[in-house]
Amino acid sequence: MFQKKINWFTIVVMLLLVFVSSSVYATTRVYWIAADEVDWDYAPSFPINLMSGEEFTADQRVFVEDEIGRHYLKSVYREYTEGFGALKQRGEREQHLGILGPVIRGQVGDKIVVHFRNNTRFPASIHPHGVFYTKAHEGASYNDGDSDRADGSVEPGGQYTYEWSVPLRAGPGENDPSSIAWLYHSHVDSPADTNSGLIGPLIITGETPNLDASPADVDREFFSMFNVFDENASLYLDANISRCSGACDPDDEGFQESNLMHGMNGLVYGNNQGYDMHKGERVRWYILGMGTEVDLHTPHWHGATLLHNGNRLDVIEILPAAAKTLDMVPDVDGIWMYHCHVNDHISAGMMSTFTVK
191 upstream amide cis, omega within 30 of 0: no
Query: What is the b/e burial string over 60-88, where b = at least 16 CB atoms within 10 angstroms of the residue's CB?
Result: bbbbbbbbbbbbbbbbbbbbbeeeeeeee
Please give the helix or strand (H or E) that residue 232 lies within, else none.
none
Residue 115 CB: number of other CB atoms within 10 A? 17
Is 340 in the active site? yes
What's the CA gap between 264 and 323, in Å, rounded? Answer: 14
Please give the helix or strand (H or E) that residue 200 lies within, else none.
strand 199-205
| Contact (Cβ atoms closer than 8 angstroms) between residue 111 and residue 161 | no
What's the CA gap between 27 and 144, in Å, rounded? Answer: 31
What's the CA gap between 176 and 200, in Å, rounded? Answer: 21
| Contact (Cβ atoms closer than 8 angstroms) between residue 129 and residue 180 | no
For the chain, the C-alpha Rg in angstroms (whole number) is 22
According to DSSP, the residues that pair with 55 across neighbouring strands are 48
Q: Which of 235, 340, 348, 356 is catalytic?
A: 340
What's the CA gap between 351 and 264, in Å, rounded? Answer: 7
CA-closest candidate to residue 35, choices 181, 147, 175, 160:
160
Burial of 242 (0-12, 13-18, 19+ CB in 10 A): exposed
Residues tagged active-site: 340
